[in-house]
Structure 1
Amino acid sequence: MADLDLSGRLIVVTGASRGIGWHAALALAEAGAHIIAVARTVGGLEELDDAIRAKSGSATLVPLDLRDGDALDRLGLSIWERWKKLDGLVANAGELGVITPVSHLEPKVFEQTMAVNVTANYRLIRSLEPLLLQSDAGRALFVTSGAVERCRPFWSAYSASKAALEAIVKTWAAEVASTKLRVNLIDPGPMRTAMRAKAMPGENAETLPHPSLLAPHILRLVAPGTAEHGTRFSYPTGESRRLID
């Protein structure tokens, strides 16, 4: 959405060092937002920063592991001390886990998948909600998956974690419905990402949509003008489904 003006908006993007998060952060910055880019991979964040600067945008790089809840608390405090508010959150970071039968799933793999896909997002909500409520039009968008409904064999940890994420986000959306904050979910479907390649190693990635194609929809859902709230947008179908009363 080249005509979308996000000048002066402050937006956190998690998982910003590659894939969907990288392209979303770049597009948001190109539209004028200042990006707080969160990821574990310093090199990927630095490449993102170079790309954003090349588009005359700006970013603050935050290398951290989302499993570190104390670091997420410090992130919220740092944003408060510097900006006093937050306009948007794109909670994109995710963990695939291991594709294996439920009975073969190692506890540490299950726990790590839940830590990244569920607990980290709960901690982000806890840390950032007060800041988002200080915005004139706070927006939060969480990346989910069709695995919630399909529950294919061997995908137990990932499917369960995304189902839990959706439950938390729907609940939060209902809780803040009377405020200016808007909370939504987005399902990218199969995309040309490293996570998809790990899950489907024999698949021809060239047949899949490029993650940059999702960026306009992310921009739309975090823009101040969006009225959608408590919805789940599916990129493969192009449809939004309301999830709360």
Structure 2
Amino acid sequence: MGDPTLDLTNRIALVTGASRGIGYFIAKQMAAAGAHVIAVARTVGGLEELDDEIRAEREKTGKGEATLVPLDLVDMEGIDRLGGAIHERWGKLDILVANAGVLGVISPIGHVEAKTFERVMTINVTSTWRLIRSVDPLLRLSDAGRAIVLSSNAAHTAKAFWAPYAASKAAVETMTRSWAAETQNMALRVNAADPGATRTGMRAQAMPGEDPLTLPHASEIAAKILPMASPALTKTGLIYQAKHDRWVSYQLPA
């Protein structure tokens, strides 16, 4: 699945959280479109499975390749080294998909343990900033740099019991918006993607009583997000809502 008209041949794409869920299928579909995908995740087994699928597709079509990077995004110096390694090998980065994130816990805010709150902020916010800092110079060297930062409607709804996750995504969206404003006169396009409710492990953790078959598969949502990496994209500083298949400003409707 993916946009058969999208050509990412010779594009270098970095995807975090690529071992499962939406990140896995974005990485797989970008490779199918011709990209060389730098797949980052903690889970080595998931990365190896992704690599096997990309290799199998390449044998049939001749398209796509992957470089696997087992990395826990709490390793801030590791994120810094990643940017340096990309520069040394390719001299640029064409696409960033900042997808990795954790839910934390669904709980009254006063009951959230400090270590849980700190982990949500570290993975969802601090590591995203560190990643942006590491690869921003590389994206500027691309003829059509594209940054896609995964967000959530939780950033706007501020539902009860979702405080840590909602706060982290609100922070990520604000960083994304500022980054887009800083680069609006460049070739780099920076946008956020709100996937909506999706059949993933994180969704199952958040809503254990929900029937997952009522939700779109992660591959379907990945296919909707994929065009945000197109060199032809002109939009910047917006949110793409995959559930509704539409672009919106940061002032979302009620």
Same fold (TM over 0.5): yes
**How far apart are the structure 2 equivalents of 1:218 and 1:60?**
21
Asked if residue 190 in structure 1 is aligned to residue 197 in structure 2, the reply is: yes
Residue-by-residue CA offset, 1:149-179 (whole Å, 9 max, x unaligned) = 1111111100000000001110010011111
Question: TM-score, normalised on structure 1?
Answer: 0.98
Tell me by how many angstroms 1:106 deviates: 0.5
**Which stretches in structure 2 are left out of the alignment for 5+ residues?**
59-63
SS of 1:55's equivalent in the other structure is: helix
Task: Give the Cα separation in 2 of the matches to 1:239 and 1:30.
Answer: 24
Structural mapping, 1:101-180, within 5 Å: 101-180=108-187
Query: d(CA) in 1 for partners of 2:107 and 2:222?
Result: 31
Shift of 1:223: 1.1
Identify the match of residue 28 of structure 2 among 4, 26, 39.
26
What SS does the aligned partner of 2:79 have?
helix
Q: Name the structure 2 match of 1:80.
A: 87
Partner in structure 1 of residue 61 of structure 2:
none
The one of 4, 7, 11 equivalent to 2:6 is: 4
In structure 2, what is the Cα distance between the partners aligned to 1:82 and 1:10?
11
Q: How far off its partner does 1:218 sit? A: 2.2
C-alpha RMSD over aligned residues: 1.0
Q: How many residues align?
A: 244
Displacement after TM superposition at 1:195 (Å) = 0.2
Amino acid at match of 2:26: A
Matched residue, 1:59: 66
Q: Tell me the equivalent position of 1:94.
A: 101
Amino acid at match of 2:5: D
CA distance in 1, matches of 2:39, 2:12: 11
Q: How much has 1:235 moved relative to structure 2?
A: 1.3
CA distance in 2, matches of 1:3, 1:149: 33
Specify the code of the residue in structure 1 equivalent to 2:248: R
For normalisation by structure 2, the TM-score amounts to 0.94
Whole-Å separation in 2 of the counterparts to 1:209 and 1:161: 24
Q: What is the identity, as a one-letter code, of the residue corresponding to 1:182?
A: R
Partners in 2 of 1:38 and 1:169 — Cα distance? 20
Please, which of 40, 47, 69 is the counterpart of residue 45 of structure 1?
Answer: 47
Alpha-carbon separation, structure 2, partners of 1:26 and 1:173: 26
Structure 1 runs not aligned, ≥5 long: none
Letter matched to residue 39 of structure 2: A
> Pick from 216, 219, 222: which aligns with 1:209?
216
CA–CA distance in structure 2, aligned partners of residues 5 and 172 of structure 1: 26
Letter in 1 for 2:244: T
Deviating 4+ runs (over 6 angstroms) = none
SS at match of 1:142: strand
Q: Distance in 2 between matches of 1:165 and 1:20?
A: 18
Q: 1:35 is matched with which residue?
A: 37
The amino acid of 1:120's aligned partner reads S
